[in-house]
Amino acid sequence: MLHEILNEGETWVAVGFVLVVALLVWKGVPGMIGKMLDQRAAVISAELEEARRLRVEAAALLADYQKRAAGAEAEAQSIIAAATADAAQFQKESRTALEAQIARRAAGAQEKIAQAEAAALNEIRALAADSAVNAAQKLIAARLDEARAKTLIADSIKGLGEKLN
């Protein structure tokens, strides 16, 4: 019976398998595999921690950017409001001066009065346009990229003619 078992191929495969496993255990291979897995786990854990740190840092940067963007937007709105108020005040003052001039020269010829009024309105438009350009330059410097700046300047210049008339 022992002789039959020794002649079987499966027996020698089992003996070889047991010897290989015993040799691996004797040489400490499971410990080495455990150490390698522990090292790999430590590397992965460190990478995950670094990713968490970077995520927190990115969130802080995003919050800071959003805060700055809101501040710049508020500043831009205040600059626009101030420029609009200045233009309205200048328009009011210029109209008052023009009416006083017309009243003083009422006795003069009608053609002279029309020429003086046209010159005063052109001056008002030029000064209002200069104020709008200055406000747009401040706005561009504070917040806007080049493409957005070009669009806003064009819109402001188009809108001034309607506001002054």
In this prediction, residue 24 carries a pLDDT of 78
Is there a domain that residue 122 lies in? Answer: yes
Is there a domain that residue 50 lies in? Answer: no
Is there a domain that residue 22 lies in? Answer: no
Range among 29-33, 89-93, 102-106 rated most confident:
89-93
- Find the domain containing 134 and state its range: 71-164
Is there a domain that residue 19 lies in? Answer: no
Q: Please write the tens of the pLDDT for every residue from 33-65.
A: 888 888 999 999 999 999 999 999 999 999 999
Residue 133's contacts (CB-CB under 8 Å, 6 or more residues apart) are 153, 157
Does residue 105 register a pLDDT over 60? yes
Is there a domain that residue 142 lies in? Answer: yes
Calpha distance 61→110 (Å, rounded) = 66
Q: Please write the tens of the pLDDT for every residue from 108-150.
A: 656 666 677 888 888 988 888 888 888 877 866 777 677 776 7
Does residue 9 register a pLDDT over 90? no
Higher pLDDT, 50 or 9: 50
- What's the half-sphere exposure (Cβ side, CA atoms, 13 Å) at 12? 6
pTM of the model: 0.34
101: tokens are 């001039």
Does residue 154 register a pLDDT over 90? no
Is there a domain that residue 61 lies in? Answer: no
Calpha distance 130→151 (Å, rounded) = 17
In this prediction, residue 57 carries a pLDDT of 94
Does residue 107 register a pLDDT over 60? no
Is there a domain that residue 23 lies in? Answer: no
Total count of domains within the chain: 1
Q: Please write the tens of the pLDDT for every residue from 59-95.
A: 999 999 989 888 888 888 898 999 899 989 998 999 9
Calpha distance 9→17 (Å, rounded) = 12
Is there a domain that residue 127 lies in? Answer: yes
| Cα-Cα end-to-end distance for the chain | 120
In this prediction, residue 139 carries a pLDDT of 64
